[in-house]
Amino acid sequence: MSYTTVAHCGNEHASWLKSIAFYEEEFDRMKQQLLELASKNTGHELMAQVEHFQNQFILQRNNTDELKHAIREHDMLVGAEASAHAGKIELATATNHNKVREEFLGIEKVVNDLRHEFNAFLSKWL
């Protein structure tokens, strides 16, 4: 088996989990803003957009929940391998870490795009 140092993973797991927690707080804040806006205006065009954003918040919350689970599982695997192999992890685990990183970066881009789309929507209706 080929191994690499656990330093390859760094503190990314904790950083990713903190970012996800922040994104989830943002979803809650945006959802609250959406509800306030919807309660003040019941126009058909607005309500279609409200439904769109409600669906996006639910979908992205589910995506972040799944990613948190994947990060935690991967973190446990890295820890177990590092303990068993004197601070080293298998190359396959390091490759998997890169895949989890790519998933996180994908979620991060979607969240940022959604935030910008939502802010543009708010500026139109406020």
DSSP readout, the chain?
Answer: --EEEGGGTTTHHHHHHHHHHHHHHHHHHHHHHHHHHHHH---HHHHHHHHHHHHHHHHHHHHHHHHHHHHHHHHHHHHHHHHHTTTEEEHHHHHHHHHHHHHHHHHHHHHHHHHHHHHHHHHHH-
- Measure the CA–CA gap between 25 and 37, rounded to whole angstroms: 19
pLDDT, tens only, 46-65: 999 999 999 999 999 999 99
Q: What is the mean pLDDT of the chain?
A: 94
Structure tokens at 81: 């391998």
Arithmetic mean of pLDDT, 32-48: 92
Sign, CA torsion 105/111/112/114: positive
What ranges do the domains of the chain cover? 3-125
**Close Cβ partners of 70 (under 8 Å, ≥ 6 residues apart):** 100, 103
Q: Is 41 a residue whose pLDDT tops 90?
A: no
- Measure the CA–CA gap between 110 and 89, rounded to whole angstroms: 31
Q: What is the pTM of this model?
A: 0.90
